[in-house]
């Protein structure tokens, strides 16, 4: 098995405004001769962590960014990294053996001693898997030139979980699927994706809810396919799913305008008047407003502004705005106040 298959020959990218939210490329790697993080002792884990962090500090993307030790970071800092999809819940629980390297522009990170010794991640605010893959592959090659990876000539890269063995590649694209939810077609779509070998998860990955009607679609198979084949299959599958969402929205506007208008009007009314708002509720309401903007039902509001607020209403970002820790109830009150101010000039059209 070749260590890296040729880069995909991309001729276009997904272009569905308001539907495709972001994409991620992730590579799982481990060091030869070292036990996996789940079974490693703390002393060994610190040694592996320090070795990897020293190597990461020599690489340009991270030498100009920052390297954070989990046991030395505040809860709000870790929460902020999780909300930016740079870190995971599992990494936050690693304590003394965990670390994360983050690029200066926060477009990539390497988690150290999460489920595997290294989790290389590259994020994009669209569906440009081409550049994400190229960048992840470049970082992977640099690390492999300095670290001895656990690799088998037949099976490929060896990982803690058997489902990642082979390429160790997980690619995902985040989609906004409110239209399919309103037309009650979403479960049918999810079943079809499962039959095709794709996983559908909520906004925070495995085990999470689909806050804001955002869903991650990712490959489940990493063995027996090249990186190009994995990426191409996901790209084609997500393209069809996005088209189904687009069609669902068009049918709603043409055949059931009262349904979509009611959804948008209720969302705006609550955002304008609520005194307490949970983050998941705020995401759902902003999601409805986002679709209203795309459908031409909302004025004085740009999609980029909604995208900003869908990040700013999250707990970690709220604490950054407040410049300190907040109790849950205080966050909910502050979130509601911010939304009331933000929606003052927003108008319904029609």
With 0-12 CB in 10 A as exposed, 13-18 as middle and 19+ as buried, what is 344?
Answer: exposed
The answer on 279 and 169 residing in a single domain is no
Tokens of 335: 């979130």
The last residue of one of the domains, among 191, 224, 245, is 245
187 occurs within a structural domain? yes
Here the contacts of 331-335 (C-beta below 8 Å, separation 24 or greater) are 331/279, 332/276, 332/277, 332/278, 333/275, 333/276, 335/277, 335/278, 335/279, 335/282
266 vs 259: CA distance, rounded Å: 11
Give the DSSP letter of residue 117: S
The answer on 172 and 122 residing in a single domain is yes
The answer on 79 and 51 residing in a single domain is yes
| Structural domain boundaries enclosing 321 | 257-348
Tokens of 12: 């276009």
The answer on 136 and 237 residing in a single domain is yes
9 occurs within a structural domain? no
6 occurs within a structural domain? no
Phi, psi angle pair for 28, to nearest 5°: -100, 130
209 vs 142: CA distance, rounded Å: 36
The answer on 76 and 134 residing in a single domain is yes
- Collapsing DSSP to helix, strand or coil, 321 comes out as helix
286 occurs within a structural domain? yes
112 vs 276: CA distance, rounded Å: 38
Q: What is the CATH number of the domain that holds 69?
A: 3.30.590.10
212 occurs within a structural domain? yes
295 occurs within a structural domain? yes
80 vs 82: CA distance, rounded Å: 5
The answer on 127 and 183 residing in a single domain is yes
The answer on 316 and 284 residing in a single domain is yes
Here the contacts of 210-213 (C-beta below 8 Å, separation 24 or greater) are 210/177, 211/279, 211/280, 211/283, 211/284, 212/176, 212/280, 212/283, 212/284, 212/286, 212/287, 212/310, 213/176, 213/177, 213/178, 213/181, 213/284, 213/287
199 vs 207: CA distance, rounded Å: 11
CA 284: distance to chain centroid? 17
38 vs 87: CA distance, rounded Å: 17
The last residue of one of the domains, among 183, 214, 245, is 245
The answer on 201 and 133 residing in a single domain is yes
How do strand 66-69 and strand 151-152 relate by DSSP bridges?
unpaired
284 occurs within a structural domain? yes
The answer on 239 and 264 residing in a single domain is no
For the chain, how are helix, strand and coil distributed in percent, rounded to 5?
Answer: 50, 15, 35
pLDDT digit string (tens) for the chain, length 350 residues: 556 544 433 334 455 778 999 999 999 999 999 999 999 999 999 999 999 999 999 999 999 999 999 999 988 899 999 999 999 999 999 999 999 999 999 999 999 999 999 999 999 998 899 899 999 999 999 999 999 999 999 999 999 999 999 999 999 999 999 999 999 999 999 999 999 999 999 987 766 677 899 999 999 999 999 999 999 999 999 999 999 999 999 999 899 999 999 999 999 999 999 999 999 999 999 999 999 998 889 999 999 999 999 999 999 989 888 888 889 999 999 999 999 999 999 999 97
Half-sphere exposure of 146 toward its Cβ, with a 13 Å CA cutoff?
14
The answer on 202 and 305 residing in a single domain is no
Which residues make beta-bridge pairs with 102? 66, 109
The model carries a pTM of 0.92
98 occurs within a structural domain? yes
The answer on 201 and 341 residing in a single domain is no
Count of domains for the chain: 2
The answer on 82 and 171 residing in a single domain is yes
Which residues lie closer than 8 Å to 210 by C-beta, 6 or more apart?
177, 202, 203
The last residue of one of the domains, among 245, 274, 290, is 245
């Amino acid at each position: 098995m070749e260590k890296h298959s040729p880069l995909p020959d991309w001729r276009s990218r997904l272009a569905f405004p308001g539907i495709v939210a972001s994409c991620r490329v992730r590579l799982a790697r481990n060091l030869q001769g070292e036990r996996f993080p789940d079974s490693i002792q703390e002393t060994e884990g610190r040694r592996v962590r320090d070795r990897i962090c020293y190597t990461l500090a020599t690489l340009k993307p991270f030498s100009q960014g920052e390297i954070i030790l989990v046991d030395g970071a505040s809860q709000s800092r870790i929460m902020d990294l999780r909300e930016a999809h740079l870190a995971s819940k599992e990494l936050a629980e690693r304590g003394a053996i965990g670390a994360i390297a983050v690029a200066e522009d926060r477009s990539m990170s390497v988690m150290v001693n999460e489920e595997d010794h290294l989790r290389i991640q590259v994020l994009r605010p669209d569906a440009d898997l081409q550049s994400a893959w190229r960048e992840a592959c470049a970082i992977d090659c640099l690390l492999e030139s300095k670290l001895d990876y656990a690799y088998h000539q037949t099976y490929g890269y060896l990982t803690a979980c058997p489902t990642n063995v082979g390429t160790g590649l997980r690619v995902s694209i985040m989609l906004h699927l409110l239209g399919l939810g309103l037309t009650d077609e979403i479960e049918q779509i999810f079943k079809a994706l499962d039959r095709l070998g794709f996983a559908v998860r909520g906004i925070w990955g495995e085990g999470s809810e689909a806050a804001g009607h955002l869903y991650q679609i990712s490959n489940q198979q990493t063995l027996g396919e090249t990186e190009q084949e994995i990426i191409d299959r996901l790209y084609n599958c997500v393209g069809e799913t996005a088209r189904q969402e687009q069609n669902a929205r068009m049918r709603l506007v043409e055949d059931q305008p009262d349904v979509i208008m009611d959804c948008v009007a209720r969302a705006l009314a609550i955002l304008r008047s609520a005194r307490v708002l949970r983050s998941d509720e705020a995401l759902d309401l902003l999601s409805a407003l986002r679709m209203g903007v795309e459908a031409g039902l909302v004025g004085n509001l740009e999609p980029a502004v909604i995208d900003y607020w869908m990040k700013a209403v999250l707990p970690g970002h709220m604490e950054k705005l407040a410049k300190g820790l907040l109790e849950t109830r205080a966050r909910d009150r502050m979130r509601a106040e911010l939304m009331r101010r933000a929606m003052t000039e927003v108008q319904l059209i029609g």
